[in-house]
Amino acid sequence: MHLKIYRKITIILNTFKAVCIDISIFGLYLTSKGRLFFENKINNSENLSENSKLAVLGSKLMEHCTS
């Protein structure tokens, strides 16, 4: 009985870890995509604000998963 519950909890935790790793990779991608636009110094302010939002979102996702 206890073994079945333990296995279910382990499966749930492993699934959560896998999802979290995917989210942090996606966050890293968003952060790097946002940074690329800053490095290219695009003059279009609309693009800059949109990509800075991506960079912030990406770093928040990574923070959430690593803590």
Is the pTM of the predicted complex or chain greater than 0.75?
no
Contacts of 27 (CB under 8 A, 6+ apart): 57, 58, 59, 60, 61, 62, 65
Q: Are 66 and 28 within 8 A, CB to CB?
A: no
Dist CA 54 CA 50 (whole Å): 7
- Number of domains into which the chain is organized: 1
Taking residues 22-26, what's their average pLDDT? 73
29-58: pLDDT as tens digits? 777 776 666 555 555 555 556 666 777 777
* 46 vs 28, residue with greater confidence: 28
Task: Give the Cα separation of 17 and 15 in Å (integer).
Answer: 5
Range of the domain at 44: 2-66
